[in-house]
Structure 1
């Protein structure tokens, strides 16, 4: 289905600021003109915001200034006036306590910048993990024409004749150092080869997953997700995005036209097909809430359960984002899903065309990278949502990154009260643990860490690693990096910090995991569980000031996207009352 174009010309938001000869309009125009802008740029042409998460503290996005210039070229060509502005950039690699704590802050900044300024449409410059969902959340809340362009992934890491993936290699090599398979000097040498060009993670980590989600939702131009950051075609994509947003304003094509129930269902199925990050769960839940779409964890389990994982990329598979691009990128995956009847082909995209129209020309140039369905990495690639007395509101697991022999298992719990307890004890040779045990970590959820850090993929104890064991079941209320792997159960809800059952698990308790039947069970009598919960006392102190206190008071659980309770639902783009 092609979007029905609105009648043009019509009165734009920006004309409330700039059109007329009264004091207020002259005031707005005159200050803008101190940047050397000719008078005819305020003649009623669309004013296009370029919302940029560029920051040298966000390495994935440190090249976005150049891409923003390319976007400006496209906007000027199409007859618009580009205005670039910054927003808070939550950088995944350095920001403490965790970038996830500040996703909502970034989204708030985007929303208020769009609503309060003379902007008719916006290009969202994103890349690093949290920037893509944050900017899409803010844009959905305001609902003016918006389009995303990502910074693109890094080139493949190269070390000793092998390709190494950012993040994934870090986890692998760290465990190899602990097991004695790799020296520290080797690790330091590999460090120099991991991140050898601008861009975000080159694995199917969260950054690449969210770039794919933006494209699958229809909020980025077709083919955007996989182009490497340093490839000239990334600049072309930015240029074309600048052109397209001007036409979107003329057509009045808004996020509410694109981010529909059908679009989110497409994205969930796409995440299964690409072996995407578990972080996509919390981000899409939050984005759907902003767009007024009723999306739940059950939708994730239902929609992705029968979708094969056909993208052979780390951490689930073999290759990296460069090969994915050369093989044809996300349009090939979407076409495969469409041909198999798994995609809503009539969902509208930012191009104004349907997703079926966009992906019709796609061809697979490497069937070892984008696999045929009968050679899939796993036949059930979706996110498994487990429930039971240990996770009444759900917990998630990524089957494509897990070990088949652990998908049904009963083991003795070894409990860590928080991340500090884990770090203090995990390397202790006296720790009572073996490969049959289940590692449990508490107090790392949205309130507990705070911010729900990516610590759920706990490294195994050295004495287990030395046996050649590479995986154990790990359970927590934390998240896991999209670049990580293993049989890791995450986002356990309610979290321990609010008194969820996870809070009262004790070392020595038996836990049953049955992924096929979606069961996560603490094997103690119900009376004992009730008694423990009644006696539980909170251990996390409420912050008393600043953003941390706002976050603590208003953050929702992982099962609801960890957004703020007061930000759900769209609030529209009404022009603010004049202040002068």
Structure 2
């Protein structure tokens, strides 16, 4: 029977100490605890391992390495699982409505297990879009010494392909540019093994943001999924939690306002996903840090896009790994005064201290441009307002498809409707596709529009068609696209009032999105509008729709003012 004497055991001590906890100890002996283990700090290892998706199929081995690292440092690692889903598999189906919901389930489950079992510290290992911010939100709620580990990026497929190549091949076939044999060959070779989608899509964007935030060890965001470096990263994370416990450094000490500004800066510099806007605001809300859409605009005015990474660029994350990952970029941004160097990180040191001895990129590399010769002088993430989005919308506009678009509305009530009309040739140059009732409440679940945007690109309409939605986009989407439009259609937002044939203008320089319809006409349409019946009456989607907040506040389910 152990007695409380170690301040690092604040949470495990009430679970295992004293005669009254004999039953607890008996249960734990059955899963491998010894007398000595009851005197050690317990480190929960939250694993998102699953054979659902290649992004997470290797994470059990990483969890074992993290647990071993915690054990070697004097703790007791305890592995537990949380869920994951696959956006790449579910995209374009009704099942994709569960994607954003899974982020909340993951946060809930990590909080639930750690809160119940009395873990003193945690390592969370995520490898796909939603489980990464879900992990961070769970760690933030618990506010116990914690480290996040990224599961790592996948390697390129044959001929430099990836999952987006497969989606775009479908559009190329519809256009007549690829036959079925060629599409099948891309399908068979684009995903060569474990790891997250290979471009600067949402997983790699969020991994980079979390490292910049200070919640991962240096280098964690830019390692191949199957590599010695990733195994060592996990072992080091397990050990790092013991040091954080010794010093009582918690997520709330690290996830500060300045740290979130650092994360936004790095996402912009890398040309990252629009989903980073949604997830960073959600994570900030969870830890109690004020963060809003306007912060992305303000920071974006001074931070350029310097990475030539997919989807808008050429290179993949594995190629950035080869030249040093994001650490040299962060050092460059720090030296230019664009990062806050005094932010504390999970190393126990500041960001500036972590970066002090980082070497620059090789001189001959072409992936990261100099700050004075960027690919885009300001952010590609544009927060748009106007009579179509009075509470904001989020666009990812690199400038390659232009910065201003005026076209004619072609309105769809779901993603499936739009996809069918893109593939059959109904959608033509000059159209602005309006996909509505796909928001957090209306969908419910705020589906990604990767299938439609990929079909548009595959049909060669990337510069000739715009797409706006109260849903969201995959990090793999590119083109003239605007998502997260708020208020959403289900709440009676103006996007619900658009008719076929209305003229819509998107201006990514003035940061506006307008439908050319008079206020009087919009009022007349509003008077005739009726709120749709909820699509789900029971179950997880119905519960989510009743509790979720607006996309402009991160689409979280635990804000006090959630309706």
Task: State the TM-score, normalizing by the size of structure 2.
Answer: 0.94
Report whether the alignment pairs 1:92 with 2:72: no
Residue 118 of structure 2 is matched in structure 1 by 118
What is the aligned counterpart of 1:381 among 374, 379, 382?
379
Which runs of structure 2 are paired with 1:65-464 in the superposition (5 Å)?
A: 65-95=60-90, 96-98=95-97, 99-159=99-159, 163-164=160-161, 166-362=162-358, 363-365=360-362, 367-400=365-398, 402-405=399-402, 407-429=403-425, 431=426, 433-455=427-449, 458-459=452-453
Task: Provide, for residues 243-282 of structure 1, a one-character-per-residue CA deviation record: whole Å limited to 9, x for no partner.
Answer: 1111111111100000000010111111100111101111
User: Is contact 2:163-2:191 (8 Å) kept?
Assistant: no
Q: CA deviation at 1:8?
A: 7.3
What is the aligned counterpart of 1:54 among 45, 49, 58?
49
Instruction: Tell me the SS of whatever aligns to 1:115.
Output: helix
Bigger CA drift: 137-146 or 300-309? 300-309
Q: CA deviation at 1:218?
A: 0.3
Residue 18 of structure 1 is matched in structure 2 by 16
Distance in 2 separating the partners of 1:221 and 1:460 = 34
Q: CA deviation at 1:403?
A: 3.3
Task: Provide, for residues 8-42 of structure 1, a one-character-per-residue CA deviation record: whole Å limited to 9, x for no partner.
Answer: 7555211111122x22x211111101123221111
Task: Provide, for residues 542-562 of structure 1, a one-character-per-residue CA deviation record: whole Å limited to 9, x for no partner.
Answer: 532222221111111111111
Distance in 2 separating the partners of 1:383 and 1:41 = 49
User: Is contact 1:303-1:382 (8 Å) kept?
Assistant: no
User: Is contact 1:456-1:490 (8 Å) kept?
Assistant: no
Q: CA deviation at 1:459?
A: 4.3
What is the aligned counterpart of 1:508 among 501, 510, 519?
501
Q: CA deviation at 1:335?
A: 1.0
Task: State the TM-score, normalizing by the size of structure 1.
Answer: 0.91
User: Is contact 1:90-1:106 (8 Å) kept?
Assistant: no
User: Is contact 2:454-2:477 (8 Å) kept?
Assistant: no
The two structures, once aligned, show a CA RMSD in angstroms of 2.1
User: Is contact 2:47-2:126 (8 Å) kept?
Assistant: yes
Which runs of structure 2 are paired with 1:28-39 in the superposition (5 Å)?
A: 28-39=24-35
Distance in 2 separating the partners of 1:468 and 1:542 = 32
Task: Provide, for residues 421-470 of structure 1, a one-character-per-residue CA deviation record: whole Å limited to 9, x for no partner.
Answer: 224433445x3x531221211111112222111116624888x9767765
CA gap of 1:15–1:306, structure 2 versus 1, over 3 A, is same
CA gap of 1:53–1:9, structure 2 versus 1, over 3 A, is same
Distance in 2 separating the partners of 1:199 and 1:115 = 30
Distance in 1 separating the partners of 2:561 and 2:492 = 24
User: Is contact 2:429-2:461 (8 Å) kept?
Assistant: no
Instruction: Tell me the SS of whatever aligns to 2:485.
Output: strand
CA gap of 1:520–1:562, structure 2 versus 1, over 3 A, is same
Aligned residues: 551
Instruction: Tell me the SS of whatever aligns to 2:393.
Output: strand
Distance in 2 separating the partners of 1:466 and 1:318 = 19
Q: CA deviation at 1:116?
A: 1.6
Distance in 2 separating the partners of 1:449 and 1:9 = 47
Q: CA deviation at 1:540?
A: 4.1
**Structure 1, unaligned runs of 5 or more:** 1-6, 570-580
What is the aligned counterpart of 1:499 among 492, 495, 516?
492
User: Is contact 2:168-2:458 (8 Å) kept?
Assistant: no
CA gap of 1:176–1:486, structure 2 versus 1, over 3 A, is same
Residue 551 of structure 1 is matched in structure 2 by 544
**Structure 2, unaligned runs of 5 or more:** none
Instruction: Tell me the SS of whatever aligns to 1:187.
Output: helix
Instruction: Tell me the SS of whatever aligns to 2:89.
Output: coil
CA gap of 1:253–1:568, structure 2 versus 1, over 3 A, is farther
Q: CA deviation at 1:327?
A: 1.2
Q: CA deviation at 1:305?
A: 2.8
Distance in 2 separating the partners of 1:145 and 1:357 = 20
